[in-house]
Structure 1
Amino acid sequence: MIRRYSFPNLLTWLAPVLALAVAGCQTDSVPGPQSGADYFPLEVGRYRIYAVSDTLWTNFQRTATSYQFREMITDRINDATGQPGYRIVRAKRMLPTDLWRDDSVMFVAATDNALLLTRNNRRSVELVFPVQPDRSWNMYAFSLVDTALYTMNLDNRRYQDVAQPFAASAGGKTYRYDQTLTTALVVNNNNAYGADDDYYRSTYEQVYAKGVGPVYRARRRFSYCPEQVGSCKRSNTRIYKGRTLVEVLIEQGKM
């Protein structure tokens, strides 16, 4: 079935972190397609354009905006640690007729074990290889500050819907992909990043298409009550404050 979308203790914690860090530094080779690396092709000149729906809630008031992001692989370089990878420049425009303006810079590196993304001086584990259904991992294994927050649940990302078709819509057009995988947030009510209860909700989903890369992203963080009020519930259907950010790939190619 095609899914459719519209717009513990310290020692226990350190062991998997160090294991992943060591594994990621063992080789500079690029993993082969059989590992799942072809869900995020890395090639200088490749670009992807996303239609973005951005909705904010403040004091129960909703404000919605739309714009576009373009992510382009501009260079193959080494990061500050000597790890080879690719520089990705993200640009933004409000209307398709506007000029692109650079918004941020990212660095992506693929090892035999993982795909690593560095943004704002923080490295995250976006994918782990080989790709396997229901496999989970700690996205912040390289960030000691972030990982410390996950003492109750080290695995905060997981694979779901591996090698499945997917469809997403934007601007009245539907984009279909035959083979995709989805990474999703592991919900855990004991940490602020993955809570999902009557008062708060935080979800994350990113879909990758084989041979294309990320084709859909959705991040949602809601609070259903003012902090000083503890009697309201999600059944009220009103959002006190929060944000929903949805990105749908609408164009991709190589310059």
Structure 2
Amino acid sequence: MSLVGAGSVIVLTNPNNVRYSVLLLLGWMFISCSESELASDTDRLGLNYFPLEVGNYRIYDVVETKYTVLKTTVDIYELKESVADSSLNISGNLQYIIHRSTRADGTESWTLDSIWTAQKSTSIAVLTENNVPFVKLSFPIAHEREWDGNGLNALDSEFYWYNTELADTALSGVIYQDLVKVIQNDRGEDFLGFENKSEIFAPDIGMIIKESAILSYCQTACATEKEIQSGRELMMTLKEYGKE
């Protein structure tokens, strides 16, 4: 088949191929519409809050505090998460390889810290951290919707839920809107200690804030009330994102 352009008119030099050409054109239009509608549908579900594309990266400012009986240490550093590659896992599903690198500040080179994997479907988004899979998001995203974040691992059930009623947030001069907060644990405080874990996600970017605190208080011969005997606090805030 050959096509000859005449201005905006397409002239078929072989009339016998008219039916084939029309079907081809309709097929292309159907694919184009389907891809557009699919993107719109997945955005409505909330899949764009967990974007996965090779080359994407995020850099966080991190403050990590560790408590022991003997001392308290505070580490301040930068963490970079980059989608380095994609592959099929043993189940035949597409997974993305996440390289996590750290440095003290912008004057130093990145050092690879760990490699995680991530994948998502139209129902869940999974991040495998040090070989332990966690269900980070459940679709569709809806206020106060609940799911088991440990549903794919051997740990005790831990139910996460959404808070979609968040104000706009500014980080490093950028204002993030339409945010979704995943409360992973809000047991709060009692005489034994304090626990609180949450992550905040922005559309088409991913996680922008992570807060985690798991602390155990001294129970006997304590120097002060609510003296921290052991535990860890972590604060991560997004400072930069893009594609390499």
Higher relative contact order (CA 8 A, sep 6+): 1
Structure 2 counterpart of 1:73: 83
- Partner of 2:167, secondary structure, is strand
The answer on whether the counterparts of 1:92 and 1:100 sit within 8 Å (CA) in structure 2 is: yes
User: What is the total number of aligned residue pairs between the two structures?
Assistant: 206
Amino acid corresponding to residue 249 of structure 1 in structure 2: L
Structure 1: which 5+ runs fail to align?
1-28, 188-193
Quickly say closer, same or farther: Cα 1:81–1:196, change in 2 above 3 A.
farther
Q: Deviations over 1:107-127 (max 9, x none)?
A: 111101000111222211000
Displacement of 1:167 in angstroms is 2.5
Q: Percent identity?
A: 27
1:164 paired residue among 163, 166, 170: 166
- Partner of 1:32, secondary structure, is helix
Matches within 5 A, 1:225-236: 225-226=218-219, 229=220, 236=225
Q: Deviations over 1:119-154 (max 9, x none)?
A: 2222110000000000111011111x21xx33xxxx
TM-score, normalised to structure 2, is: 0.77
Q: Deviations over 1:62-89 (max 9, x none)?
A: 3212001100011121122221121111
Give RMSD over aligned pairs. Answer: 2.4
Amino acid corresponding to residue 209 of structure 2 in structure 1: Y
Displacement of 1:164 in angstroms is 2.9
User: Aligned partners of 1:178, 1:247: CA distance in 2, in Å?
Assistant: 18
Q: Given the alignment of the two structures, is residue 176 of structure 1 paired with residue 175 of structure 2, yes or no?
A: yes
Amino acid corresponding to residue 217 of structure 1 in structure 2: K
Q: Which has the larger radius of gyration?
A: 2
Displacement of 1:195 in angstroms is 6.9
Matches within 5 A, 1:57-206: 57-59=67-69, 61-143=71-153, 145-146=154-155, 149-150=156-157, 156-160=159-163, 162=164, 164-167=166-169, 173=172, 175-187=174-186, 196-206=189-199
Q: Which runs of 4+ in 1 moved over 6 A?
A: none
Quickly say closer, same or farther: Cα 1:61–1:174, change in 2 above 3 A.
farther
Q: Deviations over 1:152-207 (max 9, x none)?
A: xxx521111x16334265xxx454311110001244xxxxxx57422122210100
Quickly say closer, same or farther: Cα 1:196–1:185, change in 2 above 3 A.
farther
User: Aligned partners of 1:254, 1:92: CA distance in 2, in Å?
Assistant: 18
